[in-house]
Amino acid sequence: MSTPQVTIDLSSESFLREPHESYKQGREHHPVYRVPDQDVIMVFGYDPLLEALMKPKVFSSKNTESVLGASIHNPACQAIYEKGWPQVDTLLTNDPPSHTRFKKLVNQAFTKERVEGLKDHFEAMADKLIDGFVERGQCQFIDEFANPLPSQVMAQQLGIQEKDIAKVKIWSDAFIDLIGTDMSSDEQVKRARLVVEFQHYMKECLDERRTHPRIDLLTDLVNARVDDETPLNEAELLNVAQAILVAANTTTSHMLSGGLLRLIDNPEQCAKVRAHPELIPNMVEELLRLQTPTQGMWRTAAEDTELGGVAIKKGEMLLLLFTSANRDAKYFADPDTFDVERNFSAAHVAFSRGVHTCIGMMLARQELVCAFRQILKRMDNITLLDPSQRPKYEASLIFRGLETLDIAFTAR
Ligand code: HEM
């Protein structure tokens, strides 16, 4: 009997926008799959994905190149980068034991107490954004809520002034474009300038925190001290701030828009949460499982090895697909169904697992719970503004998020 094939064309726009059917074939037939004619091994299944995450020395995250993409080979960009600080492997692109030092130090800025203390603040921020459009009975949800909320949260946490908040999104988009988009040299140069602009801006913020400490994440990063670990130096602090910006903004924004669309598509589930707001934290977990905004992350085999029965050569690249593992029927019954009361017997992997587990997961959960609570409190009968226009997902291998989401509702 011939082995059933998985149909994946990494350059096909339809696959990049709607990959779930291909992921399902992958999970069922080849949980670890070497894509023919492409230098990529895709990991679809929950078990092999978890195994790879738990072996960071074999499946390495170390790849500084990926932070600035192809731009580091572009002489025009190199000249710009020389005016800033060097990229250092701190968190996302690092391995133990070096990664362990950074994680210990940066964790000091993400304590439970800090996140719990932000609850009222997050609700007030969400409320203020809703005030801006609630009387209209309609809004461009991404531009008016899903993008500004995470930008404001990060700006506030990183000490970026209110007048510069718009830059948070511009900088974070620049980093994300450099990681994942094929661009002309001129486009790369534009992004490289933004990278260095961000570094100089943050350097001033860091200096200011040293002389005028505040109660915020940046002050905690500057002052982070653990045991006998060397404190973070300037280039390391800048890289950590950059990693936080990249990791926090797009992910949370995609969760808000994708999550709201799922509520619109499932009015009976939405009604259940409205009737029982205590279900909101579980609903957020279910949305993280189904929307999983960080679809996948890269790893490189540091040695010849094997995963899920597939022989892997040193240097081969693997794409660990959190999005796919979160719909593995072995762990999640009826995996494509949105169930706000799902009993999570296995944890989803939207925040990854192992040494690279998301540092901001408590903060993200708090922000999402507060945001959805205020949305449901203040808006009723939420629908698509034009139900004949189905919102589209962006074409991306790494992130999963909607391009637009225009909604209508009645103010409560
Ligand atoms: C819904 C929102 C979020 C999702 C789905 C998400 C997802 C993830 C995932 C999957 C990883 C691990 C990548 C890997 O294994 O290679 C990660 C790492 C990370 N995240 Fe998040 N994240 C979110 C929000 C945030 C926020 C709000 C922050 C900071 C305020 C943050 C900061 C980080 C950092 C610094 C890392 C690197 C950790 C390490 O490599 O040790 N994330 N995130």
pLDDT tens-digit profile of 9-21?
888 899 999 999 9
The sign of the dihedral angle between the CA atoms of 383, 169, 67, 73 is positive
Asked whether residue 126 is assigned to any structural domain, the reply reads: yes
Average pLDDT over residues 316-342: 97
Interior angle at CA 293, CA 366 and CA 322, nearest 5: 110
Beta bridge partners of 402: 393
Extract the tokens encoding 26. Answer: 């992958």
Q: Which of 239, 37, 214 is nearest to 114 (CA)?
A: 214
Domain residues for the domain of 354 are 61-294+350-411
Per DSSP, helices labelled H in 117-164 are 119-131, 141, 148-158
Q: Say how many domains are in the chain.
A: 1
> Is 256 a residue whose pLDDT tops 80?
yes
The pLDDT of residue 1: 44
Average pLDDT over residues 138-142: 98
Asked whether residue 41 is assigned to any structural domain, the reply reads: no
Instruction: Report the residue count for the chain.
Output: 412
The pLDDT confidence band at residue 304, using thresholds 50, 70 and 90, is very high
**Across 70-79, 88-97, 215-224, 382-391, which has the greatest mean pLDDT?**
382-391
Residue nearest to atom 21 of ligand 1 (CA): 358
* Chain centre to alpha carbon of residue 258: 13
Q: What percent of the chain has pLDDT over 90?
A: 77
**Ligand 1 center from residue 364 Cα (angstroms):** 9
Q: Are 46 and 325 in contact (CB under 8 A)?
A: yes
Tell me which of 358, 365, 368, 399 to substitute to probe ligand 1's pocket, judged by most ligand atoms within 8 Å of the beta carbon: 358
- Scanning the structure block, which residue is given the tokens 């990959």? 19
Does the beta carbon of 291 sit less than 6 angstroms from any atom of ligand 1?
A: no
In sequence order, what DSSP letters do the residues of 180-248 get, joined into one string?
H----HHHHHHHHHHHHHHHHHHHHHHHHHHHS--SSHHHHHHH---TTPPPP-HHHHHHHHHHHHHHH
Average pLDDT over residues 348-358: 97
**Ligand 1 center from residue 350 Cα (angstroms):** 9
Does the beta carbon of 61 sit less than 6 angstroms from any atom of ligand 1?
A: yes
Alpha-carbon distance of 19 to 13, in angstroms, equals: 10
Does the beta carbon of 398 sit less than 6 angstroms from any atom of ligand 1?
A: no
Asked whether residue 52 is assigned to any structural domain, the reply reads: no
Does the beta carbon of 248 sit less than 6 angstroms from any atom of ligand 1?
A: yes
Extract the tokens encoding 78. Answer: 């190199």
CATH code of residue 256: 1.10.630.10
Does the beta carbon of 247 sit less than 6 angstroms from any atom of ligand 1?
A: yes
Asked whether residue 50 is assigned to any structural domain, the reply reads: no
Alpha-carbon distance of 336 to 329, in angstroms, equals: 9
> Is 81 a residue whose pLDDT tops 60?
yes
Classified as helix, coil or strand, 58 is coil
Asked whether residue 88 is assigned to any structural domain, the reply reads: yes
The sign of the dihedral angle between the CA atoms of 295, 298, 301, 302 is negative
Q: Which of 36, 47, 49, 51 is nearest to 6 (CA)?
A: 36
Asked whether residue 266 is assigned to any structural domain, the reply reads: yes
Alpha-carbon distance of 277 to 372, in angstroms, equals: 10
Extract the tokens encoding 273. Answer: 């949460």
List the single range of 42-56, 157-171, 373-387 with lowest mean pLDDT: 157-171
Q: Which of 346, 252, 332 is nearest to 290 (CA)?
A: 332
Extract the tokens encoding 90. Answer: 């701190």
Atom number of ligand 1 nearest to Cα 322: 10
